[in-house]
Structure 1
Amino acid sequence: MTMLSDKRLCTICVRGGSKGVPGKNIRMLAGTPLLAHSILQARATGLFAAVAVSSDSPEILDIAGRYGADYLVERPPELATDAAPKLPVIRHCASAVEKSCGFRYDVFVDLGATSPLRLPADISACVARLRSEDADIVLTATHARHSPYFSMVRIGIERGVHLLMSTEPPPVRRQDTPECFDMNGSIYVWTRDALMSERGLFGSRTRLHIMPEERSADIDTELDWLLVETLMQRQLADAFTPG
């Protein structure tokens, strides 16, 4: 069992603006603001010395503090645009916390606030995998519903339609294609060196932790919200059903 460590920091990075679902990060889901689900899940693992929330929104930071975030990091405007990549945002949050507390963390875990169906056990499994497989990065994903080798296509020159990926001989069944996964954006785990370096996410020292589809939904549209709301109601019902 992985125990509490003063060398792990959890970050949750959320912007105030949202085009697909306006105000989604503070919208109530099962009686709790969306972003607060991630804070509570991080706390439930018992893994982290601290939980930090980064945002450009004072309202979001206020809610994060009320739900147990230890550090409230004000995100600079240049990292709060639609075009801002996430890795610099996480690095900024981590560096701001270290500057504030005067302590260097060894492991960083970022939770996507729009993926509230994960379980604390999913987070714990990813952290354990970082150590057990001597990895630098652990990402979460779910089995892809569509295969780029079989049912995902692109429009090429002269408006011709082609598979995104090809094999020889061409597969006649989806089961014959290479196994593919959809990254679900739920959990990212890094060693300190991997996060603070300029390397990307992918490589020989990156591992994939597979989560079931029913815990991998990411909220980007109102339809996503309805799906997550329905699945969370079932998840909560199952939690309170006697075994």
Structure 2
Amino acid sequence: MKVAIIPARGGSKRIPRKNIKLFCGQPMLAYPIQTALKSGCFDRIIVSTDDDEIAEIARQYGAEVPATRPAELADDHTGTSAVVRYELSQLLQQGAKISYCCCIYATTPLLSAVMLQQAWQQLSREPALNYVFSAARFSFPIQRALLQTASGVRPFDSSSIGKRSQDLAPTFHDAGQFYWGRTAAWLDNKAIFADHSKMLILPDHLVQDIDTSEDWHRAELLFQLLQQEPPR
């Protein structure tokens, strides 16, 4: 069995009620649920939440909310992996036989079914992999970053500051959309950013953190532009 787990707690300080705030006409949470359903990858789609309103909206859009997440797993300091381990453990105790789990973040309106399908195909055909997750390339070489000091400016890496961009290794960052993994790897708390993982590299226009009102506005503009693209 393959399951999707979407963490969606009620608290959000920078954008209040972010997970169910209307985004282009729908609650934000509706998008990852609909994308997971459209992908056809999952036997069950679980929303993990401590909030009754979020739970109701999750069910309206086709996800399951088997139980309320404990308060100690819904604070500002609880990591995603701890939530996934908890939800997997609950499902396994109920007799579910789960081989793979994909954690999908709740604020991912730019996520597509094709991305989930491609990452699943990569994970399933390479037995040595524990995870496949979404990532994007840094647009500027991070080796040539600068630091502001009390006296002025200095290079972050003095050995690289004078090199041409094409002579520096490309670098990538977590896109913060999804993490496909083997159940055993999640339960063993194996690191995601390690040699047993691979990245599904996404173009910049499909990646947007949503932590501020400016982020939210930009994501809506990107989403609206993507809706205007002809089907491929």
Q: Which secondary structure does the structure 2 equivalent of 1:38 belong to?
A: helix
Any conservation in 1 of the 2:81–2:189 contact (CA below 8 Å)? no
Aligned to 1:34: 28
Runs of at least 5 residues in structure 1 that lack an aligned partner in the other structure: 1-6
Paired with 1:59 and 1:47, the residues of 2 have a C-alpha distance of: 27
**Which of 103, 115, 125 is the equivalent residue of 2:118?**
125
CA shift for structure 1 position 99: 2.7
Aligned to 1:83: 77
**17 and 173 in structure 1: CA distance in 2 versus 1, 3 angstrom threshold:** same
1:163 aligned partner, one-letter code: P
Structure 2 residue 98 is the aligned partner of structure 1 residue 105: yes
Runs of at least 5 residues in structure 2 that lack an aligned partner in the other structure: none
CA shift for structure 1 position 221: 0.7
Aligned residues: 231
Any conservation in 2 of the 1:73–1:93 contact (CA below 8 Å)? no
CA shift for structure 1 position 160: 6.3
Structure 2 residue 191 is the aligned partner of structure 1 residue 197: no
CA shift for structure 1 position 77: 1.1
Paired with 1:45 and 1:12, the residues of 2 have a C-alpha distance of: 15
Per-residue Cα deviation, 1:149-175 (whole angstroms, up to 9, x for no partner): 01x23456x6564434454x6543223
Aligned to 2:86: 92
**159 and 103 in structure 1: CA distance in 2 versus 1, 3 angstrom threshold:** farther
Aligned to 1:15: 9
Within 5 Å, give how 1:59-78 maps onto structure 2: 59-78=53-72
Any conservation in 1 of the 2:102–2:181 contact (CA below 8 Å)? yes
Aligned to 2:210: 219
CA shift for structure 1 position 237: 1.9
Any conservation in 2 of the 1:71–1:97 contact (CA below 8 Å)? no
Structure 2 residue 165 is the aligned partner of structure 1 residue 174: yes
Any conservation in 2 of the 1:110–1:188 contact (CA below 8 Å)? yes
Paired with 1:91 and 1:37, the residues of 2 have a C-alpha distance of: 23
Per-residue Cα deviation, 1:128-151 (whole angstroms, up to 9, x for no partner): 11122331111211111233201x
